[in-house]
Amino acid sequence: MTQTLTIPRPDDWHLHLRDGAMLQAVLPETARHFGRAIIMPNLVPPVVRGDQAAAYRDRILAALPEGMAFEPLMTLYLTEDTDPEDVAAAHASGLVKAVKLYPAGATTNSASGVTNFDNVRPVLEKMAEIGLPLCTHGEVTDNHIDIFDREAVFIDRVLDPIRKATPGLRVVMEHITTRNAADYVASQDTDLGATITTHHLIINRNHILAGGIKPHYYCLPVAKREEHRLALRAAAVSGDKRYFLGTDSAPHTDPNKLSECGCAGCFTATNTMSLLAHVFEEEGALDKLAGFASENGPAFYRLPVSRETLTLRKSEAAAEFPKKIETGDGPVTVFDPGFPVYWHADS
């Protein structure tokens, strides 16, 4: 028996598209199912000014295959030299929908991120004034802080002080991975939201480390204990509008994933919607999938919900996903959940 679920066309509120040959190859994997996406600015060099964001948007649209509709929602990379007026102008033009905070050294291409948060206070105050959200990679980078504790320490040491010092600043905690983060969001007002990735709903740290190291499950923030994965699931299916989908789909070629210092990131653009239907069905919450994937994100970003739809169909035959996406830079491995999935997303 076929079971169907139709939802507004979903959006991805945290996406890496890279540039050049990689962009050409991975963009269709997102545009097949998603209408819009918040595009991460951590290119080399990073997208720090409005004119750079406009140029990157143009490259994305030029790479979009004919017949596909997709709207890239651009962001700026926050540095200690960011000009508040440039940020305000880029936002006023409709181009930029958020500014991204990377603590320096926290993740891929984050070397230009923030070290001294006092130096970005004028930008944050301007953003609070104009209603422009701040997206945060929520980890401290101190070497003496255990990697599994860095998100919780970030909340106490960086995020909460920033929010208290900047009333009205709208913040998205991106790719939360802990019960601490989910509980913090639930305890705050509606100026705070959080994205949750597909892979953090499926894997815990055992998937990376038990029975041999699995590089394709390595991501940042790193997956945590099972209790945290279950807390994320509970948040995602709760119906609370402060939680929404941000895949953090992050393509790296296999040689870069499998190197001595393997890159962090899971590539989930291809199969996210099928995997989410599986997860939400497991949780008895298929009726909450539209909110998480299609409605809560637009509400936070003050954008309309898509008028288009996506239909998911469950059948007796397992969905087949490609193991790899071939790009001009090399092969990219598609996230493997480790179990059969029977939900198919219409293209």
- C-alpha–C-alpha distance, residues 120 and 106, integer Å: 17
H or E stretch at 25: helix 20-31
The per-residue b/e assignment along 113-148, b for 16 or more CB within 10 angstroms, e otherwise, is bbeebeebeebbebbbeeebbbbbbbbbbeeeeeeb
> What span, in angstroms and rounded, lies between the C-alpha atoms of 46 and 97?
16
Q: Active site residue: 11, 12, 240, 248, which one?
A: 248
What's the rounded Cα separation, in Å, for the pair 290 and 282?
Answer: 16
Give the Cα separation of 13 and 220 in Å (integer).
17
Nearest to 98 by CA among 252, 333, 303: 303
Nearest CA-CA partner of 38 in 159, 126, 104, 137: 137
Distance between CA 48 and CA 101 in Å, rounded? 11
β-strand pairing of 243-245 with 192-196: parallel
At 250, give phi and psi (nearest 5°).
-135, 95
Within a 10 A sphere around the Cβ of 31, how many other Cβ atoms?
Answer: 23
Picking from 228, 98, 103, the residue whose alpha carbon sits closest to that of residue 172 is 98
Q: CA quadruple 55, 64, 300, 16: dihedral positive or negative?
A: negative
- 83 belongs to the catalytic site: no
| N- to C-terminal Cα separation, the chain | 21
CA–CA dist 199, 223 (Å, integer): 9
Q: In which order are the strands placed within the sheet that holds 343-345?
A: 3-8, 309-314, 343-345
Q: List, by residue number, the catalytic residues.
A: 248
